[in-house]
Structure formats: C-alpha cells, structure tokens
Amino acid sequence: MTIADDASILSVPAGTPRLHESAFVASGARVIGDVTLAEGASVWYNAVVRGDSAPIVLGAGSNLQDNVSVHVDRGSPVVIGENVSVGHNAVVHGCTIGDGSLIGMGSVVLSGAVIGAGCLVAGGAVVLEGTVVPDGSLVAGVPAKVRRELTDDERAGILRNAEIYRAHSAAHAQASDVR
C-alpha cells in the first residue's frame, strides 16, 4: 500500500477506511470514513472520498482521478465495480457503477443512479437521480441519455484506461519531492 505523506486517511463515527495492501492514495487525497479500496485501486491527487453516512467501495483495479469527489447519502452508498475509471473532476454521489465502465471528466452521477457494466458516461454529462443505464451504453448530455451501444473496441479501450492507471500508480508510488 502506498499512501502519500500528505494524504488523509481519516476515521469518523461512520467507519474507518480499509485499504488493500496494493492500494495507492496520492498526495492531497482524502479518504474518510466507511471506505474500502480493493486490490490495485487508486485515489489520485486531491480526490475526496467521504463515506460519512453510508459505505463507499472502490473495486479492484479502479481509479478515482485528480479532483474527483465521491460522497454518499444515508441509505445511498457508492459501489464502484472493478476496472472502473472515474475521470478528473467528476462527482459520484450515492450511486452504483458497474465493472469496466468509464465516468468521463467533469461528469456528475447522482444518488440512486445505476450505471451498468462496460458503460461510458461522456465528459460533462449529468446522470440524474434514479437513472438506470443498461450495460454497454454510451450516455451523454444534460440530462444524460443513452445515445447508443458501445463497440467492442470502445469497451476494450475503457479497460486499457484502467490498466494504464494501475501502471501510473506503480510509477507515482516512487515519486519524490525534488525541492
């Protein structure tokens, strides 16, 4: 497990973070409360993962990129499957995201939404509360709507993105301050 010196791993009355020994938490990231990071999961620079009123689970090989915000409501946990990438500046709130999906940069997924496996939520999209997105879908827009089914190549590209972030985790675990 690699946790940057200035990352925060905080216990609150709702729970204590549980991090797999291979998890990575970057500089400035905050992991708070009832949060589980599975094998090879990563939380990047200045991301906030706050499980203070329900659990948050980040599946194996999944990544929360720079400035991502993950939060819950009482009774609305966040469950992020395996090999999921959540792009920079996205907000994930009280929802479920299936294995092998990509949540685009700056997008928002609201409470009660269910994103199926192998989906792509386009950058800047807003997935409204309670929306259910079928497996293998591309969703885009405000509010987000299913636009089409992803191709096999697109789904493979999403999985490659998660693999790239696992490699980045190993490299950034070796980072040092050069001042």
| pLDDT tens by residue, 97-146 | 999 999 999 999 999 999 999 999 999 999 999 999 999 999 999 999 99
Q: What is the mean pLDDT of residues 25-48?
A: 98
Cβ contact 121:103 at 8 Å? yes
Q: Report d(CA 160, CA 166) in Å as an integer.
A: 10
Read off the pLDDT band of 1 (50, 70, 90): confident
pLDDT for 178: 79
* CATH number at 2-172: 2.160.10.10
Q: Dmax over Cα atoms in the chain, in whole Å?
A: 49
pLDDT above 90: residue 14: yes
| Domain assignments of the chain as residue spans, ordered by start | 2-172
Q: Identify the CA nearest to 24 among candidates 175, 169, 176.
A: 169
| pLDDT tens by residue, 58-89 | 999 999 999 999 999 999 999 999 999 999 99
- 170 sits in the region (left: phi over 0; alpha: psi -120 to 50; else beta) called alpha
